[in-house]
Structure 1
């Protein structure tokens, strides 16, 4: 596996190289790529294995971060001879999709409690025998979405088990869900003690919106998403790599 920091142009060039070869690519953590493209219509593929994979000019990009939409649009708007398609599966599921041949590119932001690092331990375990290149795409601050002013003073994972406090959770396989479950296990906190643990949403924006609308007191997500809503604040707990 190779690690490096990329510019937007380098990302596009690498994806073009991938199309011409048999190398699978996995985009992981940091680069200033937020200005890859202007918003445009992103093509989405079904979650099941697609015949698009048999087309050498097609790239299926799997993951949930908005930067992937920008990369996809950038590729489709420029003359790279690539048709980029999007599949919206969370970190663990994105890697699994790559292993199953359902995607050529996957992103992840998965915390490994044994090494206190992100992504690389999972790549080694989940993509055995596959020639994989690893690239840093972005850094994201991970933390809690809480109501403006943080009236309940929520600051850590232990606070989630407070009586009466309502949480909203992410789907299994997402980076946020894996971080939560690993932290709870490490702290010896049973998920049964958390009100709303079984209330599932499938994106950071849905999590933040649930808090903003008063449907939950707290949710786990990234800082970038919290900036889209005016009546919540973000309490950082860690930096994660994508």
Structure 2
């Protein structure tokens, strides 16, 4: 194992056959040294190897078996241990995490970067405390609530609006393929770059293909996947693809790519209502509704903050 190598929390979880939440807990306890590179926590290979050697020799450090890995720690236990996991990919969540860290005493926010569907599943398994989602239900035209209601039957939870943003198509400069609507994706020979399964952009594309009677097999590159909006926009900008689906902000960052807005998507937060969330839920709502938080988001182009902090649904 090279000492120059490092791993993400996701890679550590796979290597040790434990959940990402357990990795976060090891990091929080100082048993697994880590550092941050951009949005990601990373662990050096040498530190991982030292942890494994300690785990082999010390009975008090246990690596959970795969069968016990999900869920590893219920929300109430996490709150007691002082961690709070925020799951999702948008930069607004990093800003929210910083505000929470400043205002909460004895609770440390941790970030997990996952797509919308995976984020909801992580909450269902008890691995996340605040999750973000932007999933379109094509039949109703509604965002998020149809998926949340189906997944959390019998649960008590809160859905709070974070922001709205434009989603649509990334196209090459000058839009040479003349792509203006979802139905234009039926053009023969079109090269697509896609998002990973479970992401909000992937669900948006799949729903639009279904509604417009376009088979995914028609699209060259349907399986050509990127894990974030910037990656999709970059592949279109470089000429490796003719079109991709994503949000306006990424097009502005990448440049050399045009954005065709087609839908305003709702980006919401889901929080379970239980004993552990009572310690920090009022602070979370106060931050979302604060001028300090909103002013930071206003500095980022492409966000509609009209309803930020509104409770959309409470079970």
Task: Indicate conservation of the 8 Å contact 1:45/1:85, yes or no.
Answer: no
Alignment of 1:130-149 (within 5 A): 130-149=155-174
Cα deviation, residue 226, structure 1: 1.1
Cα deviation, residue 44, structure 1: 4.4
- Map of 2:175 onto structure 1: 150
Aligned-pair RMSD on alpha carbons? 2.3
Task: Indicate conservation of the 8 Å contact 1:95/1:127, yes or no.
Answer: no
1:122 aligns with 2:147: yes
Task: Indicate conservation of the 8 Å contact 1:91/1:174, yes or no.
Answer: yes
Q: 1:89 aligns with which of 114, 117, 124?
A: 114
Cα deviation, residue 212, structure 1: 1.0
1:207 aligns with 2:232: yes
Aligned length: 203
- Map of 1:173 onto structure 2: 198
Cα deviation, residue 80, structure 1: 3.6
Larger fraction in helix: 2
1:106 aligns with 2:123: no
- Map of 2:78 onto structure 1: 55
Cα deviation, residue 82, structure 1: 2.1
Task: Indicate conservation of the 8 Å contact 1:64/1:89, yes or no.
Answer: yes
- Deviating above 6 A after TM superposition, structure 1's stretches of 4 or more consecutive aligned residues are 45-48
2:131 counterpart SS class: strand
TM-score with structure 2 setting the length: 0.60
Cα deviation, residue 100, structure 1: 0.8
Q: Which runs of 5+ in 1 are unaligned?
A: 1-39
Between structure 1 and structure 2, the one with the greater Rg is: 2
1:60 counterpart SS class: strand
TM-score with structure 1 setting the length: 0.77
Larger relative contact order, structure 1 or 2 (CA cutoff 8 Å, min sep 6) = 1
